[in-house]
Amino acid sequence: MQRVESEIARLIGEIEYDEVTRLFSTLSGGKRLRAKLILKIAPSSERAPLLAAIVELIHAASLLHDDVIDEAILRRGVASVNATEGSKNAVMLGDILYSKAFSELVSFDRGIAKMIASSVTALSKGEMMDVKMAQSFNDDEERYLEMLYLKTATLIEAAAHGAATLAGKDPLSHALYGRNLGLSFQIIDDILDITSDAATLGKPAMNDFVEGKCTLPYIYLYRVLSGDEKERLKSLHAKVLSEDESAWIRDKMQEYKSVERSFELAQKLSDEAMNAMKNDEQLINILQTMIKRSY
């Protein structure tokens, strides 16, 4: 990971603009899940740290744009760039990170470069779908999971595929692992948005629903509610919730076990990924640690 951080610093330095260096230094590095995944799949590859750095720049760029779209004031418990520096600076920094990442990506094998680049197109499409879906209450599980795959899982899938190619391992089984890791990771995040408090989340609890996002627990809850209760849940969509309204949603989710059902899907996806990597203890450990983040 020190090599990855050094590569990231080198790439940012090569942009040769102090303002970019300053703004980038304000970003929280986060878990570096994608970079760690690449290093664990291709630990002996000399090019793995650079690929990991490229993927982390792409991920950072997507988050910068995501925060502008969502008008988020916090990112991982820290003030977002759009909150402190304005949306214009956040968008431009994201554009610079994307461009720098792509300029480095072309030095890799064509198949790796195409896989990563295609995942960024899918990611952007997923973000647009997310924005469109937030305009009204969504109770379509398939549609939601498709958006989740595009917005969150494709870059992890591509990172795993690319790392396996570098290491001379089976790219398809590793791509399946990355896809399911990404999906289950995001489903757990959706659960934590409901079950955790604001201090733990670094943002208000139940913020997804307030922003108009109908995640799996809400979709599963809607299916089992009575007619009047369905209408009540829909009426609370995309609005600031009172304590009583939040408590009602949580009580109904507890009654109908919609959070538990969501967790079951995350566990199923995780189990499929483990089966694909049954001989790789380190990759299995990543999945197990991720699943344990839940309630």
Q: Render pLDDT for 25-58 as a digit per residue (tens, 0 to 9).
A: 999 888 899 999 999 999 999 999 999 999 999 9
69 inside domain: yes
DSSP for residue 43:
T
43 inside domain: no
Residues 160 and 290 in one domain: yes
- In whole numbers, what is the pLDDT of the chain averaged over residues? 94
Indicate the burial class of 89 (C-beta count within 10 angstroms; 0-12, 13-18, 19 or more): middle
Residue (of 34, 30, 32) closest to 77 by Cα position: 30
266 inside domain: yes
What percent of the chain stands above pLDDT 70? 97
Residues 171 and 274 in one domain: yes
Residues 74 and 155 in one domain: no
Confidence of residue 260 (pLDDT cuts 50, 70, 90): very high
Residues 118 and 75 in one domain: no
Residues 82 and 218 in one domain: no
Residues 131 and 268 in one domain: yes
Confidence of residue 80 (pLDDT cuts 50, 70, 90): very high
* pLDDT tens readout for residues 222-234: 999 999 999 999 9
282 inside domain: yes
Residues 100 and 138 in one domain: no
Report whether pLDDT(217) > 80.
yes
Phi first, then psi: what are they for 143, rounded to 5°? -65, -40
Residues 101 and 144 in one domain: no
- Name the domain boundary from 107, 135, 152: 107
Cβ(169)–Cβ(175) under 8 Å? no
When comparing pLDDT for 189 and 205, which is higher? 189
Residues 92 and 152 in one domain: no
Cβ(287)–Cβ(176) under 8 Å? no
Question: What was the pLDDT predicted at 2?
Answer: 95
Number of structural domains (the chain) is 2
Which range among 155-164, 190-199, 272-281 has the greatest average pLDDT?
Answer: 155-164
Regarding pTM above 0.85, the answer is yes
Residue (of 64, 273, 109, 275) closest to 182 by Cα position: 273
41 inside domain: no
Question: What was the pLDDT predicted at 295?
Answer: 45
What is the mean pLDDT of the segment spanning 78-107? 96
Residues 124 and 97 in one domain: no
Residues 227 and 127 in one domain: yes
Residues 130 and 275 in one domain: yes
Question: What was the pLDDT predicted at 250?
Answer: 96
Residue 155: CB partners within 8 Å, gap ≥ 6?
34, 55, 58, 59, 62, 116, 119, 120, 123, 182
* pLDDT tens readout for residues 171-202: 999 999 999 999 999 999 999 999 987 656 55
- Name the domain boundary from 57, 87, 107: 107
Residues spanned by the domain of 53: 1-30+48-107
35 inside domain: no
38 inside domain: no
When comparing pLDDT for 77 and 291, which is higher? 291
- CATH number at 257 reads 1.10.600.10
37 inside domain: no
DSSP for residue 236:
H
